[in-house]
Amino acid sequence: MNSLMLNTDGVQIPQLGFGVWQIPNDQAEQAVRTAFEVGYRHIDTAAAYGNEEGVGRAVRSAGLPREKVFVTTKLWNGDHGRAEQAFDESLARLGLDYVDLFLIHWPVPRQDKYVQAWKALEKIYRDGRAKAIGTSNFTVQTLTRLMDETDITPSINQIELHPYLQQREMRAFHEANGILTEAWSPLGQGKGLLDDPALRVLSDKYGKTPAQIVLRWHLQLGNVVIPKSATPSRIAENFKVFDFILDTEDMAAIGALNQGKRIGPDPDTFNMT
């Protein structure tokens, strides 16, 4: 497992993580246990997912040293004005003393409280209750404002990113500012991407599934990537991406698939609270 260095006091994040979006709370514990057995050490949850309790039970009962497990959770949109209290509630649901990474889930531009929320995250970080802090679904515009009006640059920005939406401008902006890129929906949510003929060709060439090809592409780009599945065989399959390397021509072939095609909401207009 490769880890990447965050811009925060030497904190490292495992590059391949396990996402639990849409996994019900009563199933999350077993799914995370399975992920740990496979070898994952990075778990990504959120208050909005409603499964922090199940994730926390799995982390606490895994028999792994706490410092060997990287836990991310996120601040929901309606809690921007009460970020410290919402963080404490997440920590209580997880049953942990700290999280490794705490993110603002969406900027919610119409609400216009994300700078206020970030200042609360800065305090949470300084208090040692989150080892690192970052953002999710922020754009060049919202990240620029955040950095201009606050003290700490986000360590990571988690964005929708897959071969059909490659986010080159965002990735370049992140790199220029020392921010890691983390990909959600890295496999395109099963909505046609994995049936793309170009990926089928590479699947045959490398003897890997299309999902494994796409995850390897993410890793070689330098993205942190968090595939999600509740199926044990798929959880294991998604982890088997460290025993091959895509050559330059094949990386370019995947790069040519970009359509600028979003599956999830547009961060500029998503204002759900």
For the annotated catalytic residues, the residue numbers are: 49
Give bridge partners of residue 173 from the DSSP assignment. none
In the 8-state DSSP scheme, what is residue 245?
-
Tokens of 187: 């496999």
CB burial of 112-125 (b: ≥16 within 10 Å; e: otherwise) equals ebbbebbebbeebb
Give bridge partners of residue 73 from the DSSP assignment. 102
Q: What is the DSSP string of 17-49?
A: -EE-TT--HHHHHHHHHHHHHHT--EEE--GGG
Q: Where are the alpha helices (DSSP H) in the chain?
A: 25-38, 52-61, 83-94, 114-126, 140-149, 168-176, 197-206, 210-221, 232-239, 248-255
As a whole number of angstroms, the distance between CA 216 and CA 239 comes to 10
In the 8-state DSSP scheme, what is residue 157?
E
